Structure 1
Amino acid sequence: MSDISILAPVAPLRAEQLLPYAALVQWTAARRLWQGQTLAVDPAVSFAAVAGGGFRVPCATGVTLMPMRHPVEAALQARTLAAVTGHPYVAGFGPGARSFQQSVLGRPYVSQLTATREYLTTVRSVLDGGGGPGRGDYVHCDTGLAPLPAPPVEVGVGVLRSGMAGLAGEVADVAITWLAPAAHLRDTLLPALRAGAARAGRPAPRVAAMVPIAIRRADRDLATIVLASNSAHLRLPHYVDMLGRAGIPIDPTDPAGSARRLVDGDGFLFDDLDGLVKKVRAYVDAGVDEVVLNVSGVCQTEGAGAALRELETLVREVAP
């Protein structure tokens, strides 16, 4: 049976905003607490503060953006969190949108796959005690970290389409998806992932799927709750392309219609509890190892308390 984990539905400005969600991981069947990238507070710093507050739970990032930090710093940060929490840590990375690469680096990566390969292999080499692979097209690294006993770090990568899935199969420990329907994972991403692993002569990496979800109720408007958590993603070309390939046409000029199609195509799970249990099970049946419940739409529309109650209910119903 797959693990059920939770995504912190807030972009915390203070560590105490994360504590209830860390407590949920500590006291329920939820496996791990995830955070995404924010430009408000660094997720790794938030995790360290939560651990300092007494909640040393398994943590993960899915995903932090490669242009923001050198792979040596990324490796050091991930290993530090493994040591501080006392648990294996999942460090997920991704290149981000081309517009973000342009804004930080001055130009986008010419090859998203080459840049990601160099970044992931450098982080892995540094974590394993090596000095990095030397000079590449995007990464230069001839140094390493001082030895430190710590739980292991899994290096993950954000995966939307088959090219990155194949790369994840070759070099990553975890493939991390966002907004990808279970059918897209089953029919496109997992076959590409396994093919990449076969090319590299290694086992296929674990798969963690970030799944936006909300319990359908009479007082909840579908479009409002979907767009509260995903409106930015539905404007980004790489998400629009991925969802189109998954059979969900997204029109950035028609957000309400796109939200309805996202729910109809099971990119956003919006149903009663029995329906949600079946839809989460579809991810498990597709081959996903860790389903990460994302109730940020509930949090944005109804507040952190409602999001926490939603997660408590969902974990109780869908966790093994």
Structure 2
Amino acid sequence: MTEYSVLVPFVPRRLEQALPFAGLVNWTPAVRLWQGQSMLLEPHQTFVGAAGAGFRVPVGFGVTLMPLRHPFEAANQARSVALATGHPVIAGFGPGAPAFQENLLGAPYEKPLAVARQYLTAVRRLLDGELVHMDGPEYTFQAQLAPAAAPRVDVGLGVLRPGMARLAGEIADTVITWLTPPSYLREVLLPAVEEGMARAGRTDRPRIVAMVPVGLEREGTAPERLALASNYAHLQAPHYLDMLRRAGVETAGQDPHAIARGAVDVGAFVTGDLDTVVKRLDEYRQAGVDEIVLNATGVNKMFGTQEAIGDLTEILRTAV
């Protein structure tokens, strides 16, 4: 059965801003609260703060960026959140854009897949209580987390294209996608995940989590405007444009509005009346997604937090 979760649809500056969305996990069928990488209020602190405020809910990081933290720190922080909330955690990681890597590390990853393999392997083994020896090429260290009985932390990998999907099929507990249409998931990413599973001799498929930007239609608001408000930066990033091109969106020489329109047409951004939205979300279930994370960022940006909460509440009560 496919489950539904919610994403905090903005970058919080104060803890109390995130609490209504934690409340949705308490009071609706949503199973988990998610947040992507934040350069303001850091998501680990947000979730621990919410737990301290009384909102102890399952959470997911989708995704935090590898250049920001050493694998030991990543494992320790993820387990700290599990200890503080008392719930299992999905800790998703991704390499980030090459420019981001270069700005923080002095140079982009020469082989992002190899770095991601080493990073996720180290984090998983640390969380499993192992004494980990890493001897490069990207990380060289010896470490072990202090023993503690904690809820499980699943280690996820952010996936846009087949190479990372194959790697996730080999080593990840969870596959996390963003802005990926259901047809692309079904026809491109999931077969690549299965290739990776076969290569590793795995029979347990990683959990498939799709972050889906969504918003109910509003009179006078063109769907592409809502899609742009939701994912303006992503719709200009080379790696996302490449993914959308593979998914059937014409991107070459197109302005952001045209690309956003294409994202709506292929179902990468889900909008329409309530019945239409629920039907289009069900396409993700049919594609093999285990958890649909509703991302109301566009609605929040254009119409405010109350409207975003209203959309999420209606969709969750109808879809689940």
TM range (shorter): over 0.9
Shift of 1:95: 0.1
Letter in 2 for 1:80: S
Aligned to 1:25: 25
Within 1, Cα distance between the matches of 2:140 and 2:243? 31
Aligned to 1:318: 319
Equivalence map 1:281-292=2 (5 Å):
281-292=282-293
Aligned to 1:156: 156
Q: RMSD of the alignment, in Å? A: 1.0
Q: Determine whether 1:258 maps to 2:259.
A: yes
Contact 2:160 2:180 in 1 (8 A): yes
Letter in 1 for 2:295: N
Letter in 2 for 1:78: A
Equivalence map 1:1-320=2 (5 Å):
1-202=1-202, 203-251=204-252, 254-319=255-320
Letter in 2 for 1:15: L
Within 2, Cα distance between the matches of 1:132 and 1:29? 39
Quick one: structure 1 residues 192 and 252, their matched pair in 2 at CA, closer, same or farther if it must change by over 3 Å? Answer: same
Within 2, Cα distance between the matches of 1:60 and 1:128? 18
Within 2, Cα distance between the matches of 1:122 and 1:133? 9
Letter in 2 for 1:239: Y
Runs of 4+ with deviation above 3 angstroms: none
Classify the secondary structure of the residue corresponding to 1:18. helix
Tell me the TM-score normalised to structure 1 length.
Answer: 0.98
Classify the secondary structure of the residue corresponding to 2:180. coil
Shift of 1:259: 1.1
Number of residue pairs matched by the alignment = 319
Within 2, Cα distance between the matches of 1:264 and 1:277? 16
Quick one: structure 1 residues 80 and 227, their matched pair in 2 at CA, closer, same or farther if it must change by over 3 Å? Answer: same
Contact 1:240 1:249 in 2 (8 A): no
Classify the secondary structure of the residue corresponding to 2:240. helix
Contact 1:252 1:258 in 2 (8 A): no
Within 2, Cα distance between the matches of 1:191 and 1:100? 29
Shift of 1:255: 1.0
Letter in 1 for 2:100: F
Contact 1:165 1:189 in 2 (8 A): yes
Letter in 2 for 1:49: G
Classify the secondary structure of the residue corresponding to 1:4. strand
Within 1, Cα distance between the matches of 2:8 and 2:54? 17
Shift of 1:59: 0.3
Quick one: structure 1 residues 89 and 252, their matched pair in 2 at CA, closer, same or farther if it must change by over 3 Å? Answer: farther
Classify the secondary structure of the residue corresponding to 1:90. strand
1:169-228 Cα deviation digits (max 9, x unpaired): 000000000000000000010011011112111222000000001111213232321111
Within 2, Cα distance between the matches of 1:105 and 1:160? 23
Classify the secondary structure of the residue corresponding to 2:34. strand
Within 2, Cα distance between the matches of 1:253 and 1:220? 21
Tell me the TM-score normalised to structure 2 length.
Answer: 0.98
Within 2, Cα distance between the matches of 1:295 and 1:217? 14
Letter in 2 for 1:156: G
1:253-273 Cα deviation digits (max 9, x unpaired): 601111111101111111111
Contact 2:19 2:50 in 1 (8 A): yes
Within 2, Cα distance between the matches of 1:230 and 1:212? 8
Letter in 2 for 1:192: A
Within 2, Cα distance between the matches of 1:286 and 1:308? 27
Worse overlay, 199-208 or 292-301: 199-208
Contact 1:82 1:89 in 2 (8 A): yes
Shift of 1:135: 1.2
Gaps of 5+ in 1: none
Letter in 1 for 2:173: D
Letter in 1 for 2:290: D
Contact 2:224 2:264 in 1 (8 A): no
Contact 1:122 1:141 in 2 (8 A): no
